[in-house]
Amino acid sequence: MKKVLIFIWEIVKVVVISLAIIIPIRYYLIQPFFVKGASMQPNFDNGQYLVINEIGYRFENPMRRDVIVFKYPKDPSQYYIKRIIGLPNETIEVKNGQVTVYNIDFPEGVTLDESYISEGIFTQGNIFVKLDENEYFVLGDNRSASSDSRQWGTLAKEYIIGKVWVRAWPFDTFTVF
């Protein structure tokens, strides 16, 4: 009987120690995310399993071209994945299928080189938006199948969960970003 109690006690210790390690990592450092939908194709496909770096943006600001996961501003219970196009205090113009960014470095504007989108895909819409100090403009890579800042507006920094860090599943597409 004593051996059984010792065995049970050892199992309890292993479980408690494991939870003490796993729970903080899961809730404060990294988070799993499943891609749903086609808005980020061809770079991220429906059903892919990603690991999100939640801690990185506590030490540095999001950058243009970062692929992020965030809470959808119109329904924070939903999570979206998109690419950052516009940064705080910039002006973004979508016109004639192209995205132009106006900022301190480029007051006359610079058209983005978006080599990450498929050939033949154009950014639809006619938008001119000035971002505030904590706002981002995000777009899906598959512009024709994406609900993004063109439809629902800018993204406040507070909604950003983190940056895509690893594509873990399926294994043949494993990538560290």
How confident is the model at residue 99, as a pLDDT? 87
Asked, for residue 177, whether it belongs to a domain, the answer is no
Paired tokens of 167: 């594509």
pTM of the model: 0.74
Strands (E), 87-159: 91-95, 98-102, 110-111, 127-130, 135-139, 155-156
| Percent of the chain whose predicted confidence (pLDDT) is above 90 | 25
pLDDT by residue (tens digit) across 111-123? 888 877 777 777 7
Distance CA 173, CA 123 (A): 26
In which band, very low, low, confident or very high, does the pLDDT at 57 lie, cut at 50, 70 and 90? confident
Q: Coil, helix or strand for 14?
A: helix
pLDDT value of position 68:
94
What is the rounded average pLDDT of the residues 131-143? 91
Structural domain includes residue 9: yes
Check if the beta carbon of residue 177 is closer than 8 Å to that of residue 166.
yes
CATH number of the domain that residue 167 is part of: 2.10.109.10
For the chain, the C-alpha Rg in angstroms (whole number) is 20
pLDDT of residue 19: 67
- Domain contains 176: no
- Report d(CA 36, CA 140) in Å as an integer: 12
Q: 96 Cβ partners below 8 Å, 6+ apart? A: none
pLDDT tens for each residue of 16-43:
776 666 665 555 555 666 678 778 878 8
Q: Is residue 49 part of a domain?
A: yes
45: in domain:
yes
Pairing of strands 67-71, 79-86: antiparallel
For the stretch 82-104, pLDDT in tens is 999 999 999 999 888 888 899 98
What is the number of structural domains in the chain? 1
Query: In the structure encoding, which two tokens stand for residue 27, read together?
Result: 């809730």
Provide the pLDDT for residue 131.
93
User: In terms of residue numbers, what domain contains 39?
Assistant: 2-171
